[in-house]
């Protein structure tokens, strides 16, 4: 039986602002859309935190037995500076400054984004559509919104009429904002804008003579509004209604609010059942952001080539660091926090590496079934990775007791512990045991050889050599443990 049938997953829905029992629209299938990067520069670690969390969501849903279609877009046009309605396209500006083609900018930073995710052990999404690959569909959606009376064209640009929409629907249903308050807090239009109202947002913008990226449309040579692409691509690949839409908390308003309005006008139904938003990553007490220069790039952490950290850290340690905070909480990044995560990560991997050496017993002193249930309960509670990790370390504590022969497990419990621990550590959290992949095989071989030489020395009553091997291994942080079944070792 599929695991999702025996595990009731709860998801915090940003729309209802509470945890809800998760039920997919089609049993056994999940459609998930996550807003991807605007590829005009390198993705910083704050951006990657969002994608890392949804990578874990994707992994856990598949672990539960769901067939998941995960769509994560690439924004390669239409995203203006400072998320505004006016100004220069971020990609076009980068191209102008560097005197290269806009698609060269897109290619460079799309490849960099993929390299980062590969380095950090992300699973690729099912589909990764681009905004420029769906211009035709965006134009068709604009036509439909105009025909239904919720958009208007002025001087070659098309705007969504928020006040008209709000007569029947609730613009602000996701963010909790009220149109009346938005109007009161907005300066009067200065006459230079084509909008009827300040809250109206662009569906299509006429390109002036300086704008490099442009496409023909019934209204002008121009480009689509930033919000439109996600409505188009999510609908095309997941249907008019789908299960999960994710992104950073900063996208809740106006981006996701606008998505809801556009999609609902075209389909007449609520587009998304569960909205999920990650909180920010902070650095030096401030939000990590490119605009302020307060950020660190993911690959700078791996190389150690930065001024913020005392040394380089592995990708798996950074993943582990991210998972130690709830995705809806602010997480503060620092060298001290990474060093603490590195120690915890090392203890977890050492325990996992030792599992194959444990000899089973007739009885179990650790309730593996209860522990397993607790692990699932943590993830079923809105993907609560910090609580999951606390349960994983309960297993680490037991494994260390097993090393010291102060605990015991039956054959079946030992197998269950190993299978469950590896599933959550590697399959769900996406961590990697770098030692086992790189040098642990060689280290094991060398230590086992020294154990064999020490055994021979003891058999020959060469106590001096035996003690020398033991003492020099201790000096290297390798402690030998003599027992009835032979000699084992622990790397401290």
Q: pTM higher than 0.95 for the full model?
A: no
Query: Coil, strand, or helix at residue 383?
Result: coil
Alpha-carbon gap, residue 205 to 88, rounded angstroms: 11
- Residues 22, 139 within the same domain: yes
**How do the pLDDT tens digits run along the chain, 492 residues long?**
699 999 999 999 999 999 999 999 999 999 999 999 999 999 999 999 999 999 999 999 999 999 999 999 999 987 776 566 667 788 888 888 889 999 999 999 999 999 999 999 999 999 999 999 999 999 999 999 999 999 999 999 999 999 999 999 999 999 999 988 777 665 544 445 789 999 999 999 999 888 888 999 999 999 999 999 999 999 999 999 999 999 999 999 999 999 999 999 999 999 999 999 999 999 978 889 877 888 999 999 999 999 999 999 999 999 999 999 999 999 999 999 999 999 999 999 999 999 989 999 999 999 999 999 999 999 999 999 999 999 999 999 999 999 999 999 999 999 999 999 999 999 999 999 986 554 555 677 788 788 888 888 888 888 888 888 888 888 777 878 777 667 877 665
Query: Coil, strand, or helix at residue 64?
Result: coil
- Residues 100, 248 within the same domain: yes
- What is the residue range of 65's domain? 3-282
Q: Which residue, of 263, 282, 301, is where some domain finishes?
A: 282
Query: Coil, strand, or helix at residue 158?
Result: strand
- Residues 247, 322 within the same domain: no
Q: Could you tell me the CATH number of the domain that includes residue 390? A: 1.10.730.10
| DSSP element (H, E) containing 10 | strand 10-13
Q: Which residues, including other chains, have CB under 8 Å from residue 157's CB and lie 6 or more apart?
A: 194, 202, 204, 205, 206, 219, 220, 222
Q: What does DSSP assign to residue 355?
A: G
What's the Rg (C-alpha) of the chain? 27
- Residues 429, 443 within the same domain: no
What's the structural domain count of the chain?
3
Residue 295 domain-assigned (yes or no): no
Measured in degrees and rounded to the nearest 5, phi and psi for residue 423 equal: -65, -45
Alpha-carbon gap, residue 330 to 24, rounded angstroms: 29
The beta-carbon contacts of 306-313 under 8 Å, at least 24 apart in sequence, are 308/283, 308/335, 309/335, 309/338, 310/335, 310/339, 313/338, 313/342
Q: Could you tell me the CATH number of the domain that includes residue 254? A: 3.40.50.620
- Residues 247, 368 within the same domain: no
Cis omega before residue 254 (within 30°)?
yes
Residue 293 domain-assigned (yes or no): no
- Residues 116, 174 within the same domain: yes
Residue 302 domain-assigned (yes or no): no
Residue 217 domain-assigned (yes or no): yes
Q: Which residue, of 282, 297, 324, is where some domain finishes?
A: 282
């Amino acid at each position: 039986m599929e695991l999702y049938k025996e595990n009731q997953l709860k998801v915090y829905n940003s729309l209802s602002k509470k945890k809800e029992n998760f039920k997919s629209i089609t049993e056994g299938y999940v459609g998930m859309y996550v807003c991807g990067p605007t590829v005009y520069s390198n993705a910083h670690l704050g951006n990657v935190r969002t994608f890392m969390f949804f990578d874990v969501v994707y992994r856990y849903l598949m672990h539960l037995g769901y067939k998941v279609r995960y769509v994560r877009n690439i924004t390669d046009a239409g995203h203006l500076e400072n998320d505004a309605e006016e100004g220069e396209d971020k990609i076009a500006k980068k191209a102008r400054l560097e005197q290269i083609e806009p698609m060269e900018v897109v290619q460079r930073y799309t490849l960099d984004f993929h390299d980062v995710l590969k380095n950090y052990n992300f699973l690729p999404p099912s589909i990764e559509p681009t905004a420029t690959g769906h211009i035709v569909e965006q134009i068709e959606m604009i036509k439909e919104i105009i025909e239904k009376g919720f958009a208007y064209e002025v001087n070659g640009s098309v705007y969504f009429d928020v006040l008209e929409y709000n007569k029947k629907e609730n613009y602000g249903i996701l963010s909790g904002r009220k149109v009346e308050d938005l109007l009161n807090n907005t300066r009067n239009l200065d006459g230079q804008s084509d909008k009827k109202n300040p809250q109206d947002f662009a569906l299509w913008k006429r390109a002036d003579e300086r704008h490099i990226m442009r496409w023909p449309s019934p209204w002008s040579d121009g480009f689509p509004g930033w919000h439109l692409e996600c409505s188009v691509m999510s609908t095309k690949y997941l249907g008019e209604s789908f299960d999960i839409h994710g992104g950073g908390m900063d996208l809740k308003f106006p981006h996701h609010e606008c998505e809801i309005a556009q999609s609902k006008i075209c389909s007449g139904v609520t587009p998304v059942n569960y909205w999920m938003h990650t909180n920010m990553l902070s650095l030096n007490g401030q939000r990590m952001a490119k605009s302020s220069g307060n950020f660190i790039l993911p690959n700078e952490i791996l190389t150690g080539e930065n001024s913020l950290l005392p040394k380089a850290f592995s990708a798996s340690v950074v993943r582990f660091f991210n998972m130690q905070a709830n995705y809806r909480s602010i997480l503060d990044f620092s060298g001290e926090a990474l060093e603490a995560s590195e120690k915890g990560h090392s203890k977890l991997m050492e325990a996992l590496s030792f599992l194959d050496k444990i000899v089973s017993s007739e009885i179990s002193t650790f309730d593996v079934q209860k522990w397993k249930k607790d692990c699932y309960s943590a993830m079923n509670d809105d993907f609560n990775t910090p609580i999951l990790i606390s349960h994983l370390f309960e297993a680490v504590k037991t494994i260390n007791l097993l090393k010291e022969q102060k605990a015991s497990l039956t054959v079946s419990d030992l197998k269950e512990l190993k299978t469950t621990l590896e599933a959550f550590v590697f399959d769900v959290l996406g961590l990697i045991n770098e030692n086992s992949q790189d040098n642990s095989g060689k280290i094991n071989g060398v230590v086992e050889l020294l154990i064999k030489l020490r055994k021979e020395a003891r058999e020959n009553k060469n106590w001096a050599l035996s003690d020398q091997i033991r003492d020099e291994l201790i000096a290297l942080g390798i402690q030998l443990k003599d027992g009835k079944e032979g000699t084992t070792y622990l790397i401290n």
